[in-house]
Chains A and B, each alone.
Chain A
C-alpha cells in the first residue's frame, strides 16, 4: 500500500507529467512562461488549488451526484482559486500583475479538472493529496524550466538576474508566442526522446486511446458502452 502511495506521487513528476506527457494545461504553460519566476508563481498557485480541490472532491465523492459532477467540481475549484487569487494579490502583487488573467483562469485549467474527474472522484483522501502534489510539482517544474529557457534566451536574465544580456543580444522572439510554442515543442520532443530511450511508448496521438490514465478513466468505458448499445 505504501509503495502504491509513492507511485501516486511520482506518477505526476515524469511518467504522467501533466504538461509534457498528458499535454494538459498548455494555455497557461505557453502564456505565462516568459520568465522563470512567473512559471514558479503559476505552478505553485495551481498546485495549491489542485491539492485542496483534490482533498475536497475526494471527501465529497460519494455525495456528488454523477450527472452534475462537473459543475460541482468547478464550484469547488473556483472557491479555492478565489482564495489563492486573494492571497497572491495581497502578498505577492508583482506575481499577480505578471500572471494577470491567467491566475483566475486556473479555474478552467484542465489539469485540475482532469485530476478531479479521473482521480480524486474515485480515490480516498491520501492518494488524492499525493496525486495532486505530484501533478502540481510536475507542472511547476516544467513551467519553471520553460520560463528559465525563455528568459535566458529572450531577455538574457534568469530570475531577474543578468546572465548573458551583457555580451549577447537576446532574441526577443523567445518572449513572444512563437518562441513559447517553439520551446514547448522542443521540450515535448525531448521528453518523448527520453521516454523512447527508456523503452516507453511515445505520445503520438493525443486522443483518448493513448492517454496514460485511460485505464482509470470513467468516460472511456462509458463511451465504449454507448457505442455497443448503438
Chain B
C-alpha cells in the first residue's frame, strides 16, 4: 500500500504541451516553405538559414552562460527565431549581417527583456526592422530566383498590377524574401498549426482579411497585395507569437484588424514597399493595452 502512494506537491495534472513541442510544430510548419526557398534561391538561401539558426542558438547559449542562467537552447525557441529571421531576409543579404540580426533578435529583443515569454515584441520581426534600418542597401536588394529564368526582379509588391499571374504568386514563382514567396506552402504550414491547435486562426484570418478588404476598397490588385509580399508569412507565423499577441479572442480580433489596417496604410501611403513587419511591431507594442481593454468580465460581477 505504501508503495502505491506518490507524495508530490502540485501541480498534479500536467498538460502534454511543452515549449519544445510547440516550437517543433512551428519548425515543421515552416519547413516546406523554407525548403522551397532554398530550391528557389539556391545555396545562398540555405547558407543564410543555417547562419541565422546557428548564430541565434549560439547567442542564446553565450548570453545564458555569461549571466549564469540555465541554458535555454533546448526549448528550440532560438531555432524558430533564427529560422523566421532567415525567411524574412532577401537571399542577397551578406552572412555577417544575418548573424548580427540573429544576435539582435536573441540578445536585445528577447534576453534583455527577460527571455522567452517576457519579450515585448517578436524577436525576428524586430531584428528584421533593425537590419532594414541599419543596412538599407542590402535589405532592399533582391536576387532573382535561380529556378525560374523567366521571372525576374524584386518583390511583386513594387511591380505594376498584372505583372504576375495568380499561379505565379500563389505557388511562389517570383522574387522576394527567402520564406515569403510560396503562399501555398505557408498556408499548408498554417493549417497544420491550426489543426495541431498551436495557433488560433483569428489573428491570421483578420489580418489577411483586412488587407484584402482595404485593397478591394481602394482598387488595388487584391491578389498581388495578399500573396505578393510577406503578408502570409507574417500573419500566420509572426503575428501569432504567444507572448506578443493578445490573450483574449476579442483582443486577437482587434490585433489582427489593426495589423491589417497598418499594413495596408504603410503599403499604400508610405514610402516603404512592405509594411507587414512594421505593422506587427507597432501592434505588438499595443498588446498590453489591448489585453487590458478586453479583459474578460468574471461571471456575476457588476460594474
Contact = CB atoms under 8 A, between A and B. Distances in A.
Interface of A: 169, 171-174, 176, 178, 182
Interface of B: 97, 100, 108, 130, 133-136, 138
Nearest to A169: B135
A171 to B, nearest CB: 4
B133 A172 contact: yes
B97 A173 contact: no
Contacts of B108: 182
B132 to A, nearest CB: 9
A169 B101 CA distance: 13
B210 to A, nearest CB: 27
Nearest to A189: B112
A172 B138 CA distance: 12
Nearest to A186: B112
Contacts of B134: 171-174
Given A169-B97, A171-B135, 13 more contacts: A169-B138, A171-B100, A171-B130, A171-B134, A172-B133, A172-B134, A172-B136, A173-B130, A173-B133, A174-B134, A176-B133, A178-B133, A182-B108
A73 B134 CA distance: 43
A173 B134 CA distance: 5
Contacts, number: 18
A171 B97 CA distance: 10
A177 B60 CA distance: 26
A86 B182 CA distance: 62
Contact of B135 (A172, A176, A178): A172
B209 to A, nearest CB: 31
Nearest to A174: B134
A173 B108 CA distance: 14
A214 B114 CA distance: 32
Contacts of B130: 171, 173
Ordered nearest first, which 4 A-B pairs have the shortest CB separation? A171-B134, A173-B134, A173-B133, A172-B134
10 contacts: A169-B97, A169-B135, A171-B100, A171-B130, A172-B134, A173-B130, A173-B133, A176-B133, A178-B133, A182-B108
A174 B100 CA distance: 14
A165 to B, nearest CB: 13
Contacts of B133: 172-173, 176, 178
A76 B273 CA distance: 51
A176 B108 CA distance: 17
A176 B138 CA distance: 18
Contacts of B138: 169
A169 B138 CA distance: 10
Contacts of A182: 108
Contacts of A171: 100, 130, 134-135
Nearest to A154: B134
A178 B130 CA distance: 9
Q: Which of A171, A172, A174 has the most CB of B within 10 A?
A: A171
B63 to A, nearest CB: 14
A176 B130 CA distance: 11
Contacts of A174: 134
B125 to A, nearest CB: 14
A176 B134 CA distance: 9
A166 to B, nearest CB: 15
A186 to B, nearest CB: 9
Contacts of B97: 169
A79 B108 CA distance: 43
B133 to A, nearest CB: 5
A182 B134 CA distance: 14
Contacts of A176: 133
Q: Which of A169, A178, A182 has the most CB of B within 10 A?
A: A169
A171 B108 CA distance: 15
A169 B97 CA distance: 9
A192 to B, nearest CB: 14
Q: Which of A172, A173, A174 has the most CB of B within 10 A?
A: A173
A178 B285 CA distance: 15
A169 B136 CA distance: 11
A171 B136 CA distance: 10
